[in-house]
């Protein structure tokens, strides 16, 4: 596993009313949702990035406006093979 560090202004924490851990979780989930939406990650890999179980990831996608039903037949089959 690798670690990536990003600098986040203190004002962001205040605006989000979150702790550093909360912001970290939110950023990971947002990145995972977007990469899944773009087709760059399967739902399983995106869930791994988000640090949550696959079912929880799929349920959380609606919060980000990402549909789990915009998959082609091939993408769905691939996702099911890797589930």
**Full DSSP string of 18-75:** --HHHHHHHHHHHHHHHHHHTTSS-HHHHHHHHTS-HHHHHHHGGGGT--TT---HHH
Average model confidence (pLDDT) across the chain: 89
Residue 56 lies in a domain: yes
Residue 1 lies in a domain: no
Residue 45 lies in a domain: yes
Q: Which residues constitute the domain of residue 44?
A: 17-81
Q: What is the pTM of this model?
A: 0.77
The count of structural domains within the chain is: 1
Residue 51 lies in a domain: yes
Residue 2 lies in a domain: no
Residue 10 lies in a domain: no
Percent of the chain with pLDDT over 90: 64
Residue 70 has pLDDT above 70, yes or no: no
């Amino acid at each position: 596993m690798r670690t990536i560090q990003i600098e986040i202004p203190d004002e962001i924490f205040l605006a989000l009313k979150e702790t550093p851990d909360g912001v970290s979780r939110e950023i990971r989930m947002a990145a995972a949702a977007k990469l899944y939406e773009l087709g760059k990650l399967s739902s399983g890999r995106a869930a791994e990035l988000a640090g949550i179980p696959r079912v929880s990831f799929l349920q959380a996608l609606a919060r980000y406006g990402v549909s789990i039903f915009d998959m082609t037949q091939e993408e769905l089959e691939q996702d099911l093979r890797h589930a």
